[in-house]
Structure 1
Amino acid sequence: MAKVKSDKTFFHGKSESTGVLLINLGTPQEPTKSSVRSFLKQFLSDGRVIEIPKLVWLPILYGFILPRRPEASARNYKKVWMDEGSPLMHYSLRQQKLLQKEMESRFSGPVHIELAMRYGDPDIQAGIDKLQEKGVRRVLILPLYPQYSATTTATSFDEIFKVFSARRWIPELRFVAQYHDHPSYINALAESVKDFWKTNKRSEVLLMSFHGLPKRNLELGDPYFCHCHKTGRLLAEKLDLKESEWKLTFQSRFGKAEWLKPYTDKTLSEMPAEGIKSVDVVCPGFPSDCIETLEEINMENRGYFMEAGGQDYQYIPALNDNPEHVKALADIVQQHTQGWPETESDWQASNAEKQSEISKKQAQKHGAKL
């Protein structure tokens, strides 16, 4: 049994609070071959991501993928790298900061927002450490994956359980498994598209591109495909789009197995021959712009469409730090933290301090040293 880690920051009478841990996928620290290799090694070693027996998969990973793919991927990261660093990290940190401010305006008690990455840094253990240092006794886990998948949401939950399996005092935990059909999320998506159309000419078709998965995952019961389609349908309804005015596709396929269809790249390549010369592309499943949106969609797939005879191709940015996105995340947090003391309207600092002092005195009375 692993050694149980004690909370060295604990003392009797310590003020309690609520915490929210935002989790995103992760990113290399730098757009370099070595940094990308380290990231891909961790990511592609996850059995939730690659459901192939280790004896079969690891020779492929170490013998073929890691020696070759990092160099090409690093070149693509360099194309989208910002002065602030990784786009995904930049926007995720912005979301954390803005959500913290929003929750402070909504709740009377202390609610702390921390950010963690499933792969790379800051990792989930670091995020939990920060929350516990702040006296958090109630934690909401909010993976930034609107559509649930075992490859994203579930592996984040796995890591949470792994970290707490070595903790002595586990806080009260709640989990947000998905928010693909949350009204505030759908509204944020719709408003972002409308705002884009206010300053840019609307194209003939709105293409919604979601990250792909092997078809086998769907057949084994992963609800991701269904969640994506519901998000797409609700967004189209919110925008009052006719059936002929939007399409839903899946991108980023990897390997030789069949993935969820239709494929984004093939669809874009076929559209000009069907008479569609202009397209707007949005990626509803990505809360932050990243290599999959900025390079794969806005650069690589733009090329497929234009080379096939397309005339106008526009990428609609991810929700990023859009105020409506922050509001949507805040609505989700508020919904899932109901009943916790710090989120109640009658919470008062003076009462909390009084209870902490009583707790401290009672502990000392019974011989506590802390």
Structure 2
Amino acid sequence: MKQELHTARLRLSLVQIGDMAQLLAYELRNRITHAAHGPQRADADFTEDACFRRIEAQLRAARAGSGYRWLIRLKDEPGQIIGHVAITSIQREVRHAGMLGYGLDLDHTGRGLMTEAASAAIRHAFEHLNLHRIEANYRPDNAASAGVLARLGFEREGFARQYIRLDGEWTDVVLNGLCNPAWKAPLALQVTDAPDAYLAPCEVIDFEHPAIQHKAAALRAAHADVLELIQASFEFVRDRIAHSWDARQGPVTLRASEVLETGYGYCYAKSHLLAALLRANGIPAGLCYQRLSVGDTGAPYCLHGLNAVLLPGFGWYRIDARGNKPGVEAEFDPPRERLAFKLQDPQETDFPQIHARPLAVVTSALRAAPDIFRLHDQLPDLSPDSNPA
């Protein structure tokens, strides 16, 4: 998740524990003016302990992909929070929608700052989070909020009576919506095996090997949060295991334990190691494939190996640990996929299947190749209309 958004005058940063003192000061300064637009709060809600709990809840929502809150600061006055903007109540599957909320320090109104900040959050939600729709509501007497939403392009869609309880009273609201004209449906990933297969060892994903167990335990000890553990495992394989063809050295590796012990592997072998490390820590992981042009200029083509991991709060998510280099930048950035390669050719293909075990065409090629140079000349391939099994 992108931690900061920038506009001409503003810096928007995702809320963190270290923001507590500034955030509490902002909330106290605006307690009276913001009261009509939020839940009823007592004095106990304006303490460091209460603020800490709110930040923790917002961090959990961000990790789960259900909501993000950015704190607004002026670039030329970074020491003070002057507002906030949030995309919350995010739903996926048939909705791909979220709710926009915002607030601004009373001393900074009337300068277009809220429109500027909300515009950045909406652009991020459409381009990065791939939301199809954002909704926003305001009280009928809130002319300032009506103006902000109008400038942002929201359309008034209705009027809801006693819709929400604000400051202790049931309140009418004006309903508004904004749709993403560039929304693209994500690839519909398909699980091909029983759920427990994505946690099980096999000959190639041999996570019961002592070396795999040792490395998985070390990663687990350093990262208690599941998403952080997944990211650390991904980055270890991406950055610490050399891609054999990039390095032009190393043996042809197949089993996860071989990849870990030698420090080398083609994309297929690196995906075997990542699946093994994740499964060793009880995280369901599978193998996915793309068909790509070997030289980016048409034939010949080959399979490219990557992973899918079952993320809490997100579902299955593809990651590519083949290793970064100039022109290749794969990242762990859910819910957005940041894979090593984008399809550029009609004969290139994203295969949607998530496999618990490597494809036979891949294992056969790795076993048959006497060295990495011969493997490069005989990379495995499948036609784009294949149904890999």
The normalised TM-score by structure 2 is 0.24
More strand by share: 2
User: Over alpha carbons, which structure has the higher Rg?
Assistant: 2
More RCO (CA 8 Å, sep 6+): 1
Name whichever structure is richer in helix by fraction. 1
> With structure 1 as the length reference, what TM-score do the two structures score?
0.25
